[in-house]
Chains A and B, each alone.
Chain A
């Protein structure tokens, strides 16, 4: 084995050791505290093994994932579309800039009460909140990506007189894609946070509703099992996203001589 491979293996082992140590600390601390609200991880794990495969829990996960997918898709599509327009036109940027800057400065969670009042407590409200939160990081990344397109690429696009739509779709979008993906990746955990927050109203079905309800009925084990699942979900989604990014942007990472880690 090369020294680099040994070093890499060492990093993986160290990462695993820290993770196991964190679980062990939780376990030991919970035993010493012996609090009803703070069960040891081993008990939470047993609860998770029972709860996760149950039909109720899976349908809650399904409902949350559908909302996340819908909200993320809408927010990301709007962020890329408006970002492309703002990035490639001074006029659009000046027109929309102050409004988007103001809305971006709002803590996203603060829009939840407004959304409930305007849209009622339900799927539409939740999807809107997720879309709103996902929109801004994608917008900012897209604007930055388009504005950072090399002048030679801009000139080449101008010389080919592709028209605004052709130039945007065939040159600016792919040229800005590495930066856009950074925004999409940032937006993913934000989307996950907002699914849960918007479901803390406790109505209907969903992971957030499940966690909220378990807390409400004093089932600490069930609540932790739900939270543990959320962590796992975020981890898996991020992994899937990195895999997608590695495929779509293979040209970029090879061109700059860097692999995505």
Chain B
């Protein structure tokens, strides 16, 4: 289901972005809503402005035209309501802090005591399957575990929306599958509360496997080519879900939409 205006937590309206006044636009006329608790995937070819869109939505960039509304309020700068997981975990985690402190870092502004912060960070680390590594440093962990730490850090401050920018593109295929399931798990079970997830990827199969709905962007300048409901049952299971006919149908539909958008 596409969200109606009253269930939308995030609304993107006629968004356009130009990096220079005379240059070509990176994005034009992008409009869509994201429902509370929805897991939305955004796919599109390289250079279509996926990352630009993500940076506009989380407030790291300002649009040239249009507006992003979070809970009905225009996003003009990053707020505590959003968190981002970047592709390059090795550069986004702080190497001078151990894992627990990395995860607790965003909690500094919440007025919690040191013990409360450590407890909250420890709980989130458990949610992503990282019990007992709090005292290690990020660089002592495998890539997959580092990205779990980055996910835990994003979740620690209990944001309303978590944005992920091609988060599993730099890990091997097996680890990627594991991390996809960590994300699904977190989305389904996080403290009995549903977090909204916007997941940017160029991997169509990953988008179908994870998402409630997939938004397809056209090649540059990016705009919304289609919004495809996935409609596969949850919980999703790597082997069963990916080999089911409905999975293949959605996947093929997306390939068709992307091929058409290219023309």
Contact = CB atoms under 8 A, between A and B. Distances in A.
Interface stretch (A34-42, A151-159, A229-237): A151-159
B78 interface: yes
Contacts of A104: none
B78 A158 contact: yes
Contacts of A174: 94, 96
Given A177-B96, A254-B137, A255-B139, A152 B109 contact: no
B86 A161 contact: no
A253 to B, nearest CB: 11
Given A159-B78, A161-B80, A162-B109, A171 B94 contact: yes
Interface residues of A, number: 21
A152 B88 contact: yes
Nearest to A248: B96
Contacts of B125: none
A110 interface: no
B92 interface: yes
B106 A155 contact: no
Which applies to chain A's interface (DSSP): helix, strand, loop or mixed? helix
A153 B93 CA distance: 7
Contact of A161 (B78, B92, B105, B138): B78
A152 B91 contact: yes
Contacts of B88: 150, 152
A251 B95 contact: yes
Contact of B77 (A156, A161, A177): A161
Contact of B91 (A150, A166, A252): A150
Contact of B137 (A151, A170, A255): A255
Nearest to B107: A160
A159 B83 contact: yes
A160 B96 contact: no
B94 A254 contact: no
Interface in B77-112: 77-80, 82-84, 86, 88, 91-92, 94-96, 105-106, 108-109
A159 B163 CA distance: 11
Interface in A169-220: 170-171, 174-175, 177
B58 interface: yes
Interface string A67-90: 000000000000000000000000
B39 to A, nearest CB: 20
Interface of B: 58-60, 77-80, 82-84, 86, 88, 91-92, 94-96, 105-106, 108-109, 137-140
Given A160-B106, A170-B108, 15 more contacts: A150-B88, A150-B91, A153-B91, A153-B94, A155-B60, A155-B84, A156-B84, A158-B78, A160-B105, A162-B109, A174-B96, A175-B96, A254-B140, A255-B95, A255-B138
